[in-house]
Amino acid sequence: MSHQPGHAAAHDHDHDHAPGDPAHEAALTELLDLDGEVLADYLADVTAWIAATAQPPVSRIVDLGAGTGTGTFALLRAFPGARVTAVDLDPGRLHRLRERAGRLGLDDRVDVAAIDLDRPWPELRSLIGGPADLTWASMSMHHLGDPDQALARILALLRPGGSLAVAETSSDDSFPRFLPGDGALEDRVHAALTARHAEQVPELGSDWTTRLTAAGFTITAERQFAIALEAPLPPATGRYAQLTLDRLRTGLADQLDPADQQALAALVADHGPASVRHRDDLTVRATRLLWLARRPPR
């Protein structure tokens, strides 16, 4: 696959939409932005952990599957002296990322490169001015047609002793959950999603420890991050939940029974008592699995 979203909420169902569908692309771009806003504390925690664990110095960072830059800007905060090259398939999202960098006064610390990671890579060492000290791949590796080939390329991109940070998730936890109560509806939706992913995203939930080791990396740390946000939630949470649940509703329309489709339609409506846009009982729950791996010093 060539779609490389920046984070879990971007797990969309592009096969259910016409390529270049403006409404679809606009919703996905907004969702990527909201992902960084709502999960800002998680991103800060993850990048602080990477900064404390990665072998210094870290001045050249590559963000593979950068989307609109949620990871890019978190990494810039965690590594104040570093420069980040954001790599993504979609030039429009990279343009949005550059505009945001300009607004934040970070133009001189951000480069962008529109690359399809399933095709031959350009000479990234030349592009970034030397070998990378750190590469970050957040929820992007499992979208690739050949992750093992990508890991080999990342190993070659890094300096000896340089680090790769991989953020992934299990096959049944790729979208956040939002609804209170027994969660039966979300359980059914996530079960349908897991079945869909087993067919169409087979690398989701891979044994990344084994794959990283086989590629020549040394695992230096593994960690599980449990995301559990409760009230007071970030102001954008309602819209984030609406877009996420609507992607599930439309992407799984052929797998959900009519009652569940109707329930989801009420949840993602702009108005109404069930609308997640206006509820004060939402939570945000998800789990992320992190690996920090190092290219051997020699």
Render pLDDT for 125-181 as a digit per residue (tens, 0 to 9): 999 999 999 999 999 999 999 999 999 999 999 999 999 999 999 877 889 999 998
Q: Is 51 helix (H, G, I), strand (E, B) or coil?
A: helix
Q: Is the pLDDT of residue 15 over 60?
A: no
Domain formed by 8-172+202-230+286-294, architecture:
3-Layer(aba) Sandwich (3.40)
Phi/psi at 164 (nearest 5 deg)? Answer: -120, 125
What is the structure's pLDDT at 171? 74
Long-range Cβ contacts of 244-247 (<8 Å, 24+ apart): 244/9, 244/31, 244/175, 244/176, 244/178, 245/178, 245/276, 246/27, 247/11, 247/12, 247/13, 247/27, 247/28, 247/31
For residue 244, pLDDT beyond 60 = yes
Are 62 and 124 contacting, i.e. CB atoms less than 8 angstroms apart?
yes
Q: 54-99, pLDDT tens digit by residue?
A: 999 999 999 999 999 999 999 999 999 999 999 999 999 999 999 9
Which amino acid type is present at position 108?
D
Q: Tell me the average pLDDT across 92-119.
A: 96
If you write DSSP's letter for every residue of 256-291 in order, what string do you get? Answer: S-HHHHHHHHHHHSSSSTT-GGG-S---EEEEEEEE
Domain ranges within the chain, ordered by starting residue: 8-172+202-230+286-294
State the pLDDT at residue 20: 54
Cα-based torsion angle of the residue sequence 273, 277, 283, 289 in order, rounded to the nearest 10 degrees:
140
| 257: Cβ contacts below 8 Å, ≥ 6 apart | none
For residues 118-128, give the mean pLDDT.
Answer: 94
Judge whether 293 and 219 are in contact, CB under 8 Å. Answer: yes
pLDDT of residue 125: 95
Q: What is the mean pLDDT of residues 229-251?
A: 96
Give the pLDDT band (50/70/90) at residue 41: very high
Please give the mean pLDDT across all residues of the chain.
91
| Paired tokens of 175 | 């979208």
